[in-house]
Structure formats: C-alpha cells, structure tokens
Amino acid sequence: MPRRNLILGEVAFMVILAAVTVWLFRSHSPSPDAVAVGIKLPDASSQVYLQRQSDGSLVYLIRNWNGNVQRVSTDQMSQRLYDLGQSSWSSLGLSSPVVLFWLTVGFVGQLLFTGRFVVQYIASERKKKSVVPPVFWWFSLIGSLILLSYFLWRRDPIGLLGQAFGSFIYLRNILWIRNESRPSVLTVPEAS
C-alpha cells in the first residue's frame, strides 16, 4: 500500500471520527432555556436537562437516542435515581445490563491492549534481545479498535483521541509484516 494512500486513509478516518465525535458531543437541548446537567442514566445516549417552568418550578427533560423528550418532575427524577441505586446491578457498581456489557467490552479491549506488552516481553525473553513479534501489532490493533468503540459509547473525547491515532500505526506495521512474508517473484532474464 503506497504511503500516500495510508496517509489519506488516516486523514479520512480522523475526519470521520471527528464528525462522529462532534455529533455525539453536541448539545441536543430540547428547549433553548433548558440547561444540560451531568446525570448519567443507564442508557448512555440519553441526555438530561433541567428547565424552569413558568411557575418557577423545575422539571427534568430527558432526551433519548431517538430524539424523544420525556418530561420528569424533580420528585420523579429523584425516585428514578433512588431506584437505580437500589437495583441489584447497583450493588456491583453498575446501573444496568447495558452498562455491564460496555464495561466488559472496555475491559476486554484493555486486556488485549495491555496483553501486547506481555507478548512482547515473552518473545524478548525467549530471544534474549528486544523483539516485537507480529502478534504484538495484532493485539495493539484489535485492542485499540475495541477501546475506540468503548470510548465512543462513553462519550470520552480523551480516550477517543488516544486510541484513534495509534490504530493506523498498528495497521501499517501489520501490512509491512504481511508484505515481508509474501514470497517474492523472481524474474528470470531472457536468454539472448
């Protein structure tokens, strides 16, 4: 793969990732006078806003992933948050099975990403010199992509940025190794 194509691919990937990030992190305020509040609900895509009513009371607006807005009184929201805290998932520090799933995804991604150093250490110990085996790059790429999806779910721009750049470096190293292992075609000069 020519270097120019790789650079163009990385630039395109970063532009797409930036667009998705801006879209995910932009304010979806259901009303101009609603204020975003930092309440995490089990559905990470739900956004919570607080709005003052004409009578001076406050109401929560919960905007779901599909754009539907639910109006919830402060008492109802307090009860909802209390119920979340009382759930069996909460005793494990979780708020729902969805959160458990994504935490598992993040944990697996981090295990793979960290496991690459274990693989590199074992290979180096066997050779008695510093060695970076091909599986190191595979662990790096797969772990990075899994963590990238986890950070997208978490809406974590720091994690996204940290994982996005490395994925192309890992892919490029895999391609170099793959090209080295292909048998080269020998051309035989024609007899004159």
41 and 65 part of one domain:
yes
Residue 137 has pLDDT above 90, yes or no: yes
23 and 100 part of one domain:
yes
48 and 131 part of one domain:
no
Looking at every residue in the chain, the average pLDDT score rounds to: 81
What pLDDT does residue 146 have? 95
51 and 4 part of one domain:
no
Q: What is the mean pLDDT of residues 132-141?
A: 94
76 and 153 part of one domain:
no
What pLDDT does residue 133 have? 94
132 and 177 part of one domain:
yes
What pLDDT does residue 44 have? 64
Give the domain-ending residue among 86, 113, 128.
86
In this prediction the pTM is 0.64
1 and 47 part of one domain:
no
Q: How many domains does the chain have?
A: 2
List the beta bridge partners of residue 72.
Answer: 60
Residue 90 has pLDDT above 60, yes or no: no
Residue 45 inside a domain? The answer is yes
For residue 52, the enclosing domain spans 31-86
pLDDT digits (tens, 9 = 90+) for 6-53: 778 778 877 887 787 777 666 667 777 788 887 777 666 678 888 888
What pLDDT does residue 180 have? 82
Give the domain-ending residue among 63, 86, 109.
86
Q: Does residue 183 or residue 50 have the better pLDDT? A: 50
Pairing of strands 47-52, 69-73: unpaired
For 38-42, 143-147, 158-162, which range has the lowest pLDDT when averaged over its residues? 38-42
Q: Mind giving me the DSSP string for 79-139? A: HHHHHHHHSTTGGGT-SSHHHHHHHHHHHHHHHHHHHHHHHHHHHHHHHTS----HHHHHH
